[in-house]
Structure 1
Amino acid sequence: MPASGTATDSGPAASATAITIKDFSYQTPASVSPGATVTVTNMDSADHTVTADEGSAFDAEAQGGGTATFTAPSKPGTYPFHCAYHANMHGALTVK
């Protein structure tokens, strides 16, 4: 039975919960929902991480040319993050 207008894991919401890494910089969505699955797409040849600056809210490693996923924190807020391999790479994930 085909789905009619229901959101699925591969539905329209998927693009809104993606972080893209390209040219050693992060492109992040405006915000994600609490507990959303966030997909990290690494378009560089080098490995990168999306590692929360404080605590263990999230830590995902995307190999060069690969993808990874992590679960967004359940508590709304702004979560600064960095790449564990490249000190100049920083971003922030807004959960609301």
Structure 2
Amino acid sequence: GLLHYIDGSECEPTDPILDQSVDLNMWTPAEAALDITYRSEMKTWQQGEAIVKQQIAGTIPDSLFMKICGQATAHLIWKALAGNFEKKSRMVSIDL
């Protein structure tokens, strides 16, 4: 499921080819295979991120979305939302 994007356990794939300055024609077959796998994993990760971000954005008010939209990942968006609500919860507790 997509819960892994929220809890932060689904991380952005790491590019296995560290030296991107090397000409693609000079890659070994193993490096080319690693790159293909990486690109596939990255596409899957980006799609999952986009879906979760859209689901979050579609369920909160625009005013709240504007506060958290600058976060880079769905996990960071979720943490910002949680922090916002926890802060409000503490303020209500203090008022009581």
Q: TM-score range by the shorter chain?
A: under 0.3
Pick the structure with more strand per residue. Answer: 1
Structure-2-length-normalised TM-score: 0.23
Which one has the bigger helix percentage? 2
* Bigger relative contact order, structure 1 or 2 (CA pairs below 8 A, ≥6 apart): 2
TM value normalised by structure 1: 0.23
Bigger CA radius of gyration: 2
